[in-house]
Structure 1
Amino acid sequence: MAEELTFDIPVGAGVGTRANADGEPVTPKDAATVILLRDGTEGVEVFLQHRVKGMPFAGGMTVFPGGGVDSRDVDTSVSWAGPEPAWWAERFGCDESLARALVCAAVRETFEESGVLLASTGDTVVTDTTPYHDAREKLVSRELSLAAFLEANGLTLRADLLRPWANWVTPPQEPRRYDTCFFVAVLPEGQQADGATSEAVSSGWQRPEEAIADAKEGRRMLMPPTWLTLAELGEFESSAAAQAAEREISKIMPTLVRDGDKVRVILDPA
């Protein structure tokens, strides 16, 4: 049976989906999203980006860094430390090849969109990403693959800095659909998250409850996965506690029903 959650929000808060009932549903594209966390003076903070309104998917929405899996993310030559693809495949219910690609996409997209690099030189996690500025631009333009970038700089992907969080599938009514695996990661010591991406008009850190309050009051727009994830994160006292949470991952596909000034979010198995 589907789980039903109801949010009290004002009209125009932007959580509704865009109807596209004509034709067969689009096959979802595999994607990865990373929830970056840090500990602020008043509790857990999350890194959020306000997407450009003209973006074909989630334009104008406030989101976590992430994006689609690139065909080169399956490269088995990537230097890897941490849980192996088989471990991730079991958590996300997919094959090992896709699991590898999802982790690689998570690391790549996080670096491209926020400048945070979940990698190490030897056993030491990167603390300063400025030497990789040019490579970051080439990753964004697809001139460089993640595997080539890591190899050229003697870097190792750190899968142990990521933890599985959720798996959301865009509803069939949407013209652009994604099967997105959500990861959580704590901001590595010494690194800074920035907003140097053409996909966002602004970026920054915020407490989960404050981001939700902004959405309720119409100052930002959140999609259901972002809203529910923020609500879940607000229950943790520290970023380490959130990352250590043991979560059972299953595919979730939301259905939204407007009822006056409320939005009923029904979570259906995908």
Structure 2
Amino acid sequence: MANEFADAVPTPKDASTVILVRDAENAASGIEIFLLQRVKGMAFAGGMTVFPGGGVDKSDGTAEVEWAGPSAQWWAERFSTDVARAKALVLAAVRETFEECGVLLAGPSADTVVADTSGYSASRVALENHELTFSDFLKQENLVLRTDLLRPWANWITPIGEARRYDTRFFVAASPEGQVADGVTSEAAEVRWQSPQDALDHWRAGDSILLPPTWTQLTELAKYNSVADVLAVEPEIPIILPTLYRDETTFRIDFPNQDDYYIPGPHPWAARPAK
């Protein structure tokens, strides 16, 4: 196969994705991950099963908020970027998680977290509709951004050749006790909590579509037995830029440790028709 996309290279947009984890009720079952199936027909990843997340807004870069936890400088070092960009990425991670599933990594003080987000439903809709900035929301509710509840996890860039490209930083976070992750967003057709292995089995059976970054994170998280184990990890975070190839019959994305992604099965990437 040959790469046919060298002349079409849109600049990737910064994005943040948060992998919410919780301990399964049965300790022997390990951890569970919150997943959304995106609405079909969306411009990017329509119909795919993903973690909560989205693009960085301009307001994320200019936000002035009360910040608890690791500094923007610390985040910049972990994600190999500058301080302003790191700050925007962290703000986007917390904002998108709240917009997409109602989980809010913020609290009345630097060592507390909101126990119930249902009272913020109107603000959540306003945020999703870009009628309210996240910094204004936090100020109105006297909330502190809890960056210490997040952990840096990975960095993937959409392959050259895709019409929409994102430079996405992945975070992990424990779902706060008392808060309920839901699917009350215009972008989700379905949501579910699944163990990483169950999510991979669901995909392998052809019941969901996982893009390489999502598949890779689930494969990695399947190694851990508890949320504490996940949060204790300090992973290396290389920039991963997969390569998109196309011939007369299939698209193929090459990325690190991909072999099991292409095992025979009904999942769509086994034989995706060319456009």
Fold-level similarity (TM above 0.5): yes
Whose strand fraction is larger, Structure 1's or Structure 2's? Answer: 1
Find the aligned partners of 1:59 and 1:205 in 2 and give their Cα distance.
Answer: 20
Find the aligned partners of 1:196 and 1:28 in 2 and give their Cα distance.
Answer: 28
Q: Does 1:210 pair with 2:185? A: no
Find the aligned partners of 1:210 and 1:167 in 2 and give their Cα distance.
Answer: 24
Structure 1 counterpart of 2:147: 159
Conserved? CA contact 2:161–2:244, under 8 Å: no
In structure 2, which of residues 117, 120, 123 is the aligned counterpart of residue 132 of structure 1? Answer: 120
Structure 2 counterpart of 1:67: 54
Q: Does 1:178 pair with 2:166? A: yes
Find the aligned partners of 2:62 and 2:175 in 1 and give their Cα distance.
Answer: 25
In structure 2, which of residues 73, 81, 91 is the aligned counterpart of residue 94 of structure 1? Answer: 81
Q: Does 1:267 pair with 2:273? A: no
SS at match of 1:267: coil
The alignment yields a C-alpha RMSD, in angstroms, of 2.2
SS at match of 2:161: coil
Find the aligned partners of 2:8 and 2:202 in 1 and give their Cα distance.
Answer: 36
Q: Does 1:117 pair with 2:127? A: no
Shift in Å at residue 109 of structure 1? 0.1
Conserved? CA contact 2:4–2:246, under 8 Å: no
1:117-161, Cα deviation, whole Å (9 max, x unpaired): 000102321111011111101110111111100000000000000
Structure 2 counterpart of 1:39: 23
Q: Which stretches in structure 2 are left out of the alignment for 5+ residues?
A: 258-275
Structure 1 counterpart of 2:230: 242
Find the aligned partners of 1:20 and 1:151 in 2 and give their Cα distance.
Answer: 48
Task: Report the count of equivalent residues.
Answer: 250
Q: TM-score, normalised by structure 1?
A: 0.88
Relative to structure 1, is the Cα distance of residues 20 and 220 closer, same or farther in structure 2, using a 3 angstrom cutoff?
farther
2:89 alignment partner AA: L
Conserved? CA contact 1:255–1:267, under 8 Å: no
Q: Which runs of structure 1 show a deviation greater than 3 angstroms over 4 or more consecutive aligned residues?
A: 19-23, 256-261
Q: TM-score, normalised by structure 2?
A: 0.86
Q: Does 1:195 pair with 2:203? A: no
